[in-house]
Each structure stands twice: as C-alpha cells, then as structure tokens.
Amino acid sequence: MSDILNFSRRDFLKTGAVAGGGLVLGLYVPLGNRLMAAEKTGTAFAPNAFIRIGTDDLVTVIVNHSEMGQGVYTALPMLVAEELDADWSKVRVQSAPAAPAYNHTAFGIQMTGGSSSTWSEYDRLRKAGATGRAMLISAAATKWNVDPSACRAENGAVIHSASGRRLSFGELAESASHLEPPKDVKLKDPKDFKLIGKATRRLDTPEKSNGKGMFGLDVTVPGMLVALIARPPVFGGKVKSLDASKAKAIKGVRHVVQIDRGVAVVADGFWPAKLGREALDVTWDDGALAGLDSTAQREQYAQLASKPGAVAKKDGDAVAAMSGAAKKLDAVYEVPYLAHAMMEPLNCVADVRANSCEVWTGTQFQTMEQAVAAKTAGLKPEQVQIHTMLLGGGFGRRAVPDAHFVQEAVQVSKMVKAPVKVMWTREDDIRGGYYRPTAYHTVAGGLDASGNIVAWQQHIVCQSFMAGTPFEGFAIKDGVDATAVEGVSDMPYGIPNVLAEWTMAPGGVPTLWWRSVGHSHTAFVVESFLDELAHAAGKDPLDVRRALLAKHPRHLGVLELAAQKAGWGTPMAEGKGRGLAVHESFGSFVAHVAEVTVSNDGAVKVDRVVCAIDCGPTVNPDTIRAQMEGGIVFGLTAALYGKITFENGRVQQTNFHDYPVLRMNEMPVVEVHIVASTDKMGGVGEPGTPPIAPAVTNAIFAATGKRIRRLPIRAEDARKG
C-alpha cells in the first residue's frame, strides 16, 4: 500500500507542476475505445483535448470533471460553447479518459471535488473554445480568400460579414484540422456572453428521465461476472478462517476468493452472489477496534479536549480577555460520524488482462484509481483505462485516496481471470466506513459589560482523513489539518481575541470528506454559539452579525438579502421560530433563514428556508439554485437524522430504516436568491450545506428556548419546558 501512496505522491507533485502551465494545446491524448471509433468515422477537427467537431456539425465536449448531479456536464460545455460560438443544440458530452491533459488546473490530478469544477475550468475551457473558433474562422477565411477579421462565428457557423457567405463548423472541420492552433486567443467581454450566466437546460436531463443514462452499476461487458464481498464486521479486522463449501454449492456461484479486504463471492449475477455471501462461513479476527463504542469514544474525546491542542487560529490574547470578561459562556457541541449514502451504492467493473486493465466506474478521482488499479494489476498506469460513468451521487465518497472500491474489483478480476462487477449493497455502504468524522467541540465566549464579544475559544477534537494519504503534506501544516478546522480557522467575525485549537483523535475508523468537509461541523458550532452569545447579550442575532462582519461585504450581502426576503423580525405564531446562519465555504458565501415548527413532543418540522448565495459570476443560474436546494436537503438530513454509531466495534446502522434521509413529505419550501456579483468565482456544490443545521437549530431556540448542541436533533433536546 505504501508503494502506491509513494508513487501517487510523486505523480501528484509532478503533474501538479505541469498543470500550472495552463492550456495544453494540440495535445492528442490516448482516448477511450468508443472515442477512437468516433474519431475514425465522425470527428474531423480536434483543436485540443476538450473539443471534437464532426462533419455532421456535432460538437463533442470532452468533460474532465465527473457528473454526480452538480451539473458539470452542462456548465463546462457552456464555457466551451460560449467562446466557440457553437450551436448549443449540437453540443454533446463525453467523459474524459484518465490522462494528464485532463488534470485539475489547481489540484494537479484528475479529480472532481471541492466545489471547484467551474471556477477551475473557467479560463481553460473558454480558451479551448476560443482557440477552436479562431481556427474555424481561419479555415473559412482561407476558403473565401478573405481576411479572418472580416469573418465572425455565430451559432455553429462562420459567416463572412460583408458577403453573408456561411459555412457550418462541420463543413469547416476537415480544413481546420490542418491548421496550427494560434498562440494567443482573445476571450469575449462578459457583456457579450450569450450562454454564460443564462439559465440553461441541463444536457443530461433527457437521459435521466427515460432510464438511458449509464451509471457505473449499469455497465455490462461480455463475460462479466458479479461479485459481492464479505468485509470484516469491525474495521481493521482480518479473515481468521473461511469455509466456502456451502457458498460454492449455490447455483450460479462461480468462485470464492480471499482478497486483501475480505472474501469475494463471484457469481453469474447479483442474486446468486448475495445468496453465496450469506452462505459463507467466515470467522474474523476483529483486531484493534473490537471494543469500539460510541459512548466511550465520546469520553475519550472529552478528555482530549481538556488538554491543549495544536493552534489553528490565534488573534490577540483570548485567555486573558476571557478572564477579564464581564460574562462568560461555555458549551460543548457534538456531531456524529455520517455516511454519504449516495443513491447509487459503490460499484466497479474491472477487466484485467495480461497487458491491460479496463475500469468502468463512477469516480471523482481518476488519477488515484488509475494508479491503484495499475499497482494492483501489476501494470503501468498508462496501461489502465478508466471509463468514467455517470455517478449516482458522490458527495466525496467516490474520491477515496486509497481507491479501495476500484482496488477490490481489479484484484478480483485478476484472480478469477474474467471481467468482474463488484457491487455494494446498501448495508455494505452504510457499514462500509469512510465516514464524515465524528467531532467534539468545546467552545467558550466572553462578553464585555456592553455585551460585545471580546473573546472566543474553541477546541475541536476529530480524526484526520488526510494523515497517511498523499495529501497529508498539502492539508496538514504545523500539526493542524486544515480540513478539520476550516470554518473556524478562517472565522470572519471581528472578535479581537480568538484562540482555536485542534487535537487529532485516534484513527482506525476510515473517515473521508463529506459534502462541505470540515465546514459540515464547524459552521454548526460557530453559527450556533454566536447565536448563544447574541442572546446572552440580549441582542438580535442579525444585528450582532452585521456589526461583526463590517469588513466582510460578501458575508453581509447574503445575510441582508436572506434576512430581507425571509421577513426577519416579523412576528411568528406560537411554536414557530426563525433562525439564521451565514457561512463562507469553497469561495462562496451563503446565508440561510430557516423557519421551523416544534410540536409539544419536540418533533421538528422545517417549513421554509430562504437562501442567499454570492458565488461571484454565474455560469448556469438554475444549477446554482438546484445545488442550493440539494445542499440544504443534504444538510437537513444530517441535522435531523444522520448518525453512525458503534457498539462492540460494529456499526449499528444498516439501511434507510435506521439511517433515514429526508423524504418528500418533510421537504420545506426553499427559496434561493442569487447575489449579482462580479467578485471572485466560488463553488456551488457544497456551500449550501454548512449553514442549514445552525439556521434550523437557531430557529428551534427562537421557537422553544432550547439550544441544540448535538446532532442529529433529538426530540428531548428540542421539546419546550
């Protein structure tokens, strides 16, 4: 394993340096089989790694970010089509193969995450489109024997302005393919945009409305077998003994093989594989986590929080200011482990041959999958082809540094010498680890005699999912994992004395980024405790934030917009309350105002959420709205229900009955307001999630006077009286 990580780290750094060079033009990269076939028949013009134009006028945009619902199969082609002046109805999408040309412009590996797809491709893909346009214009000008400056591109064609002559992109594709790409291209003035910034229908909606869209789980290749894997019931456990005789006796079961991560039952289809797995007789050595228990773990975290941690933020002298404060508040906030629970459970098809390996899967992490698959198969990375399918949700779960779900499939395929689809059941998924870490926060605040916040101390205890991965060097600096403290370490409030610390909790339980990463817990704590301090000072929570955010206009902008649209300050009926929260993450600024009804038994119903976002310039405003709606639902599920717990080392939850998620009848009305902004562009996939939990719990406080300090919200904590 460490070999893989070392390799990956070197690769990561190397490609990172190259990616800084920007657009790689005229680069012909190895393409997937289907695309090669398309090139032979249709594609005439490929000005760069991202654009293919056929003689049939179709423009295929090769998209290097994975579509997991966030809309990149529309937003990224919009960037290309805008500058290419393509006919939007002729634009098609193809997922990129794994190759360095498709590495992330900022992160240096091929990946999708951090709400970064649109801003990170904004320049590269517009330049790619503009380059294509310049070459098509040049080809037309040559044909007409006119100056290129006398021609313009419009809606999929080049037009000679003076004579009105017109050639479609398809008609120009062949001749344009013989031209050298220009060194410099001019990008449009944003005021001339026809597509960017306009609500645009998603290109993938039709295939997601008729069952034709191909997700990883839908892949079948000739001769393929289906495998389910029995994994240890305790993380870190190993097979002690195995009797596969009963499993092998089941009709349709072909192989039972022991692999690094458990025992694979390989069969003709899902059902015999499932019956076979149930018939396995495995004795496990539970290993070091055999006694893991959530109650005891909480005590351990509390102990750790009582000792000094690594300093994540230090302004002024919080200790002295706290001791001199007129009023002091202390609190403990807690959040549990969370599973991502994407609708499409993990899966991977692998076909390992003597000199090649093909992988079909929904992944956010192509470079890592390719490296790990190569290592497992005993091949070079360039011998591994990754086919990125549609992702039935990602939320970070399909960006795994150890690429475990690909590694398993490659290992099984290699062992049984056949293409294999490894499938995860929902139980495998919920109990499969790679959770959002559980976190324990102690927090204290000091007010002066006028009720101003003069001191803030916070100590976070949680695991690091960066430690031990190729990303450790990027994330962990001076003993602090940035992904564990983000949202606190960059707290915007103008509080003169702040001390924030972090202590790394012991590892063992596999943990991972989960939609909005560290912000998923830090925003809850910061925005809740600020609300506590406001009430302790007898002030309006909106007024307190206004005063403390005077130097942060983008925070203020969304705060004021959400408050105004929600009617902040207007009276509410008995049992109802309104709460607000504002948070910056992934370069965007989001404020939510939540309205809740709390019944006498403490049941919480979220009635309405008013959201305001400033993500800078917009590409597809309707996608921004959709991501706010989705991010709110994702955060509400966590606030109301999400909880993974351990007893005797075993995860206690299994499926949607004991790991519930928000359903239609619980859906609040969500209103999204987008701030018109020319500021720096941020992301939209994650920033809607962090502020929803505190907006709701602050609303519960407004309704009942009960402060929620642990998630998920329990009726006994929310009940009035």
Partner 1 sequence: MITLKVNRKEHAVDVNPETPLLWVIRENLGLTGTKFGCGMALCGACTVHLDGEAVRSCVTPVSRAAGKSVTTIEGLSSDLSHPLQKAWIANDVPQCGYCQSGQIMSAAVLLREKAHPTDVDIDEAMSGNICRCGTYQRIRSAIHLAAKMKAEGSAE
Per CB under 8 A, residues contacting partner 1 are 67-71, 201-202, 204-215, 217-218, 220, 226, 251-252, 269-272, 341-345, 390-395, 423, 425-427, 622, 626, 629-634, 655-657, 661-665, 667, 669-670
Give the CA dihedral 21, 24, 30, 32, nearest 10 degrees: 100
Cβ at position 338, least distance to partner 1 in Å: 12
Among the listed residues 311, 232, 647, 366, the one whose alpha carbon sits nearest the alpha carbon of residue 481: 311
Indicate the residue among 578 and 625 with the shorter CB distance to partner 1. Answer: 625
Indicate the residue among 265 and 556 with the shorter CB distance to partner 1. Answer: 265
| In contact, 447 and 321? CB cutoff 8 Å | no
- Over its C-alpha atoms, the chain yields an Rg (Å, rounded) of 27
The token pair that represents 604 in the structure block: 């919480």
Q: Rounded to whole angstroms, how far apart are CA atoms 67 and 388?
A: 9
Indicate the residue among 205 and 306 with the shorter CB distance to partner 1. Answer: 205
Q: Which amino acid is at 599?
A: S
Cβ at position 225, least distance to partner 1 in Å: 11
| In contact, 277 and 247? CB cutoff 8 Å | yes
Q: Going along 143-297, which residue ranges are E strands?
A: 151-154, 157-160, 166-168, 225-230, 238-243, 253-259, 262-267, 281-285
Q: Which residue has the tokens 């939510």?
A: 592
Cβ at position 640, least distance to partner 1 in Å: 13
Question: How many angstroms separate the Cα of 425 from the Cα of each of 153, 186, 264?
Answer: 51, 51, 13
Among the listed residues 262, 257, 218, 231, the one whose alpha carbon sits nearest the alpha carbon of residue 418: 257
Cβ at position 78, least distance to partner 1 in Å: 14
Cβ at position 216, least distance to partner 1 in Å: 10
Q: What is the DSSP secondary-structure string of 480-495?
A: EEHHHHTTTTT--S--
Cβ at position 8, least distance to partner 1 in Å: 27
Query: Is the bond preceding 712 in cis, omega lying within 30 degrees of 0?
Result: yes
Indicate the residue among 391 and 484 with the shorter CB distance to partner 1. Answer: 391
What single-letter DSSP state applies at residue 259? E
Cβ at position 465, least distance to partner 1 in Å: 21
Cβ burial, residue 408 (10 Å; 0-12/13-18/19+): buried
Indicate the residue among 18 and 669 with the shorter CB distance to partner 1. Answer: 669
Cβ at position 401, least distance to partner 1 in Å: 22
Indicate the residue among 64 and 70 with the shorter CB distance to partner 1. Answer: 70
Indicate the residue among 622 and 679 with the shorter CB distance to partner 1. Answer: 622
Indicate the residue among 50 and 641 with the shorter CB distance to partner 1. Answer: 641
Q: Rounded to whole angstroms, how far apart are CA atoms 304 and 462?
A: 10
Indicate the residue among 299 and 427 with the shorter CB distance to partner 1. Answer: 427
Cβ at position 96, least distance to partner 1 in Å: 19
Q: Rounded to whole angstroms, how far apart are CA atoms 493 and 529?
A: 12
